[in-house]
Amino acid sequence: MFDWPGGSWQDTVRLVLTVLSIYGAIIWVALIFWVFRDIRQRTRDPIMQLIAVLLVLAGFLPGHWIYLILRPRQTLTELYERSLEEEAILQDLDDQKACPACRRRVRDDYLVCPSCLTELKEPCAGCGKPLDYGWLACPYCAREKAPAIAPGPAANHIEGAQDRASLGGLVRRSTSLVRRRGS
Ligand SMILES: [Zn+2]
Ligand SMILES: [Zn+2]
Residue 39 Cα to ligand 2 midpoint, Å, equals: 57
106 alpha carbon – ligand 1 mean position (Å):
8
Name the closest ligand to CA 101: 1
User: 101 CA distance to ligand 2 centroid (A)?
Assistant: 26
What is the spatial distance between Cα 39 and Cα 59, in angstroms, rounded to a whole number? 16
**107 CA distance to ligand 2 centroid (A)?**
18
Distance 158 CA to ligand 1 centre (A): 31
Q: What is the pLDDT of residues 46-99, one digit of tens each?
A: 998 999 999 999 988 899 999 999 888 889 999 999 999 999 988 877 767 888
**What is the structure's pLDDT at 149?**
46
Task: Report the predicted TM-score, pTM, of the whole model to 2 decimal places.
Answer: 0.47
**Model confidence pLDDT, tens digit, residues 126-180:** 899 999 988 999 999 999 887 654 455 544 454 444 555 554 554 455 545 555 5
Burial class (CB in 10 A: 0-12, 13-18, 19+), 131: buried
Q: What confidence score (pLDDT) does residue 96 get?
A: 72
Q: Which ligand is nearest to the CA of 128?
A: 2
Rounded to an integer, what distance in angstroms lies between the CA atom of residue 88 and that of residue 82?
10
